[in-house]
Structure 1
């Protein structure tokens, strides 16, 4: 197997595990608990459950989104002689693959959120208490950028990182569209400054807190540029990463230090380093397993990953509540542990089932929702 094919297969193989990681990021039960009919279950979970959540949802899974940005930068410039015509062609393609799904899935999220105003249903759904309607044109527009000022105003607003659309995970698509628009600038900077650009961006990412959206945008820009660097400079990623075969061991060590020092400045630094080491580690592991024939790419899992990504936050807590009520689970940490370990996978396979249904019976709609993926 050539390194080019191995790189492509490694990326496709990792899509589904990374999506599962994102589901765990958003199913952080130790922080959110599980609210049903006004009662919050899991509010007093023991320390071991909290640290398990920190490890799975805050450390292991934190690699997922940076790695998707890394993939995007790598593939955007992959085997391309970048020029004005190539840029125009890529922009036209991204309208279909990014902009249209972004609009459609946020519209779906608006309709989904509106259900909390149906009499008798509000107590069944997450985050319904105290939500007020903001029926203005700007409220509608903000649903696509900053939902804290959108149609549905929550009593508590996340002031640390408020600029996310109503379909929260799609901030990734929004920032990716911005990166695509400024890709000629990034291309020029990478060609001129090479690795120095990445080092400067990494310093800002790790140590300097920028104001407003600039701080939020630094991580996407860094990991997109890191991936782009390899393609622009025609670096063989598989060959380069083979030289650091020990990266998974380093990641384990850094993760242990992060968990042991949780809540300190050391933990913050470890958390900043983990995506870098994690990306290399996952590429090393995936390419090795694929090359040795230990695993194969499952096309259904790879192709449905975007659909899972776009849908999961609308249903993951609702599925958890259904399981909690149907199975008559007690308010115990072990019941919560069972939910925590299984619900992200159940959610993923529910999404896959819906994806396959749409692909079979409504292929045009499925194509628009997934950008033709």
Structure 2
């Protein structure tokens, strides 16, 4: 199918689809409704746990944790959780980020400057802190005789870096940043800087713009960049129109079971040539499905209180879960040498639980001892 055909389809259906269902939702005012704001808060911690599960996936990813006794059952469980369900986490984060950046905003040069200045404290400062910290830790490990051998032949010694090498390593110019999970924050900063251009394109040629981004993502052009741009800008479109991000709640009642069914089928047959495309259709169904689940979560006072409280630690867990997760997993495999599904899956789940628990506990401890510093490295959260 040609890009022009995709554009035509998107123009005649997707934008009309959004506009149609918007009529079912109250437009509200320039501020988020209290209910919408609460439901977005409920998502923060579960989505971060989803990110940790993505990085906990071990099938074929790490020779040091080779799963000798892995069976189809183990592969199914890890694929379903890490490669299907959890894969909605990052698109949702970009969708929400784009939505909040543009929602209720009357654009001007001053407003743009104000938003960029606020992102210096919420994005740039923690981004620099964590990436520089990782470089310092790597440099210390490379200089110590007992740990230097782990870096032999794998990378240039940090002590030999030129100024340009530090810049490339911190910002991830040609690869991931030093703290690799921060590619998300890097892309978010770039998209924030491009906000005026994004706004102009979304107000003048929204169908063509969104269709182009959708096509690039489906055809896998641009890697993570196409995913970042599509979902941030889709969220921006919803925000500019001042639609509710939960406008598809009614439809999500049937989308959710369909999404789960697709995720299960994909997890059983991940090697088919159609998998990448069916997987992405699943993600598009998964986004409104997970947004809808917050409506159910908000009905439980205890669960609502716990998730809002744990949501404060989300950024810190995101920043610190690696390399802790990898260390826990490698030590577990070295000590236990699992051979059977029960042992392998126990390590898989427990490595996530222990990592999230340790990072969360450290956040609340630091937040009590040095609250200002903790807020700074956690983006003011």
Q: Provide the C-alpha distance between the structure 2 equivalents of 1:184 and 1:72, rounded to a whole number of angstroms.
A: 16
- 1:24–1:56: 8 Å Cα contact kept in structure 2? yes
Provide closer, same or farther for how the CA distance between residues 261 and 324 of structure 1 changes in structure 2, counting only shifts above 3 A: closer
Instruction: Name which of 49, 58, 68 aligns with 1:20.
Output: 49
Q: Provide the C-alpha distance between the structure 2 equivalents of 1:263 and 1:132, rounded to a whole number of angstroms.
A: 32
Find the residue that maps to 1:82 and give its secondary structure. Answer: coil
Q: How does 1:1-373 map to 2 (within 5 A)?
A: 4-33=33-62, 35=64, 40-43=65-68, 45-117=70-142, 118-121=144-147, 128=151, 130-134=153-157, 135-137=160-162, 138-146=164-172, 163-207=175-219, 209-210=220-221, 214-291=222-299, 295-297=303-305, 298-323=307-332, 328-333=335-340, 334-373=342-381
Shift of 1:237: 2.8
Shift of 1:317: 1.7
Q: Paired residues, what number?
A: 345
- Going by fraction, where is helix more abundant, 1 or 2? 2
Deviation readout 1:106-125 (Å, 9 max, x if unpaired): 011112323442222357xx
Q: Provide the C-alpha distance between the structure 2 equivalents of 1:130 and 1:165, rounded to a whole number of angstroms.
A: 19
Shift of 1:201: 1.5
- 1:25–1:58: 8 Å Cα contact kept in structure 2? yes
Query: Structure 1-normalised TM-score?
Result: 0.85
Shift of 1:85: 1.4
Structure 1 unaligned blocks of 5 or more: 148-161
RMSD between superposed Cα atoms in Å = 2.3
Deviation readout 1:323-344 (Å, 9 max, x if unpaired): 456xx52432332211101111
Provide closer, same or farther for how the CA distance between residues 292 and 4 of structure 1 changes in structure 2, counting only shifts above 3 A: farther
Q: Provide the C-alpha distance between the structure 1 equivalents of 2:68 and 2:169, rounded to a whole number of angstroms.
A: 30
Q: Provide the C-alpha distance between the structure 1 equivalents of 2:302 and 2:278, rounded to a whole number of angstroms.
A: 31
Find the residue that maps to 1:164 and give its secondary structure. Answer: coil
Deviation readout 1:34-86 (Å, 9 max, x if unpaired): 73xxxx55255333222322211111111111110001001001222222211
Provide closer, same or farther for how the CA distance between residues 6 and 128 of structure 1 changes in structure 2, counting only shifts above 3 A: farther
Q: Provide the C-alpha distance between the structure 2 equivalents of 1:129 and 1:46, rounded to a whole number of angstroms.
A: 34
Q: Provide the C-alpha distance between the structure 2 equivalents of 1:295 and 1:371, rounded to a whole number of angstroms.
A: 25
Q: Which moved more, 1:269-278 or 1:308-317?
A: 269-278
Of structures 1 and 2, the one scoring higher in RCO (CA 8 A, sep 6+) is 2
Q: Provide the C-alpha distance between the structure 2 equivalents of 1:33 and 1:44, rounded to a whole number of angstroms.
A: 15
Q: Provide the C-alpha distance between the structure 2 equivalents of 1:108 and 1:98, rounded to a whole number of angstroms.
A: 16
Q: Provide the C-alpha distance between the structure 1 equivalents of 2:234 and 2:140, rounded to a whole number of angstroms.
A: 41
Q: Provide the C-alpha distance between the structure 2 equivalents of 1:6 and 1:248, rounded to a whole number of angstroms.
A: 21
The equivalent of 1:156 in structure 2 is: none
Structure 2 unaligned blocks of 5 or more: 1-27
